[in-house]
Amino acid sequence: MSTAFIWHNGRIKPWAEATVHVGAHALHYGSSVFEGERVYATPRGPAYFRLAEHTRRLFESASVYEIEIGYSEAEINAACKELIRANRLDSAYVRPIVFRGADGLGVLPKPGSPVEVAIMALEWGAYLGDAREHGADVCVSSWHRPAPNTFPSWAKAGGNYLSSQLIAFEARRGGYAEGIALGCNGLLSEGAGENLFLVKRGRLLTPPTSAGILAGITRDSVITLAEAMGLRVEERDLPREALYSADEVFMTGTAAEITPVRSVDRKPVGEGRPGPITRALQQAFFGLFDGSTADRWGWLDVVEPSSAEAAASEGRDASAPARAPRTERAAAMEASA
């Protein structure tokens, strides 16, 4: 999985040239924060889904771990768009990541230790394969999410996903597509990489943000779409057995989008296939990208063509994809290299 270009420390460079030292603090201690974003092909061209909100959360996550990103939110947004143009992608999964670089092996980073920033963009389809259409078979994991006073679950940090790996490994060994974790209180939390929704008698139920979950942007989008459709949404504590008596269950996330669940622990959910409310929400969500759902919330951020590409389309002289604007920090890093 690769594309021609990657954005790394202030400039577009060939994928193979985006390298990191083995002494990087993030490699040893998990000191990275990141985002997962989607670009969709729309009638107006490739468009990011809620780019500003993803970038804001990236900065909030970095703040929790006292990581100084070194770029403004506007610069990161511009770089995300520039990368899509450079790789000439119509749709993509995009991964901005901020991590502590190499500067000693102590757990506590030194003051002023280097911070690196990279953005990757890949062509990536449905996260759980055909489960988006037919439903996923999932299990409740024996691994629980950590308590709120251990790891901050609202921060999308690399180290948090060691827990997710254990959940996903266990699910795969059992022949399931995904695993669902309970929180430290024994109540429902979330999937290995997705938020969780249940439908019961026409109501939409989801664990609260206090349940050790990542407060997902797709989760928030689904709540907004559901309320716009007149559905009642309740964020509340839910026991494990709620999964077995639900009419419908689905999972959400940037990668997973809206993925129905057809069975939990080999017990069928509802009629064992995606239900009507799940289907209606999928239709409303994906309709944002083909224009059948009005973007009332300004969630789509169209990637406009560069001036060079615009000139080429008009038959004027055009150069190769331009580099992303160099910041003072990027220039200083190159000078010291």
Give the domain CATH number at 137. Answer: 3.20.10.10
What is the C-alpha to C-alpha distance for residues 140 and 160, in angstroms, rounded to an integer? 19
Q: Is residue 333 part of a domain?
A: no
Q: Which residues are catalytic?
A: 156
Does residue 284 belong to any structural domain of this protein?
A: yes
Q: Is residue 237 part of a domain?
A: yes
Q: State how far the Cα of 324 lies from the Cα of 13, in Å rounded to an integer.
A: 10
181, 87: one domain: no
Q: 243: buried, middle or exposed (CB in 10 Å: 19+, 13-18, 0-12)?
A: buried
Q: Quick check: is 15 in a domain?
A: yes
Query: Does 327 reside within a domain?
Result: no
Are 92 and 224 within one domain? Answer: no
Asked whether residue 329 is domain-assigned, the answer is: no
- 240 and 310 inside one domain: no
Amino acid at 233: V
Name every residue whose Cβ is closer than 8 Å to that of residue 54 and which is 6 or more positions away in sequence: 35, 36, 37, 48, 96, 217, 254
Q: Are residues 153 and 261 in the same domain?
A: yes
The CATH code of the domain that includes 38 is 3.30.470.10
Same domain, 142 and 185: yes
**Residues 284, 318 share a domain:** no
273 and 313: one domain? no
171 and 274, same domain (yes or no): yes
Name the domain boundary from 248, 273, 290: 290
The total of structural domains in the chain comes to 2
Sign of the C-alpha dihedral computed for residues 80, 45, 300 and 308 taken in this order? positive
> How does strand 5-8 pair with strand 203-206?
unpaired
Does 74 share its domain with 191?
no
Is 0.75 surpassed by the pTM of this model?
yes
Instruction: Note the pLDDT of residue 242.
Output: 98
Q: Looking at the structure, do residues 72 and 152 belong to the same domain, yes or no?
A: no
- One domain, residues 74 and 183: no
- Separation between Cα atoms, residue 206 and residue 249, nearest integer Å: 10
SS3 14: strand
**Is residue 99 in some structural domain?**
yes
- The residue segments making up the domain with residue 299 are 5-125+295-322
Quote the tokens at residue 5: 């270009």
In a domain, 330, yes or no: no
Strand-pair partners of 135: none
Which residues does 310 contact at the CB level (< 8 Å), separation at least 6?
A: none
Residue 66 DSSP label: T
Same-domain pairing of 94 and 237: no
Residues facing residue 258 across a β-bridge: 252
- Could you list the pLDDT tens digit for every one of the 337 residues in the chain? 789 999 999 999 999 999 999 999 999 999 999 999 999 999 999 999 999 999 999 999 999 999 999 999 999 999 999 999 999 999 999 999 999 999 989 999 999 899 999 999 999 877 787 888 899 999 999 999 999 899 899 999 999 999 999 999 999 999 999 999 999 999 999 999 999 999 999 999 999 999 999 999 999 999 999 999 999 999 999 999 999 999 999 999 999 999 999 999 999 999 988 999 999 999 999 999 999 999 999 999 999 886 655 555 556 444 444 444 444 444 444 444 4
CB 116 within 8 A of CB 20: yes
Q: Token pair for residue 125?
A: 């389809």
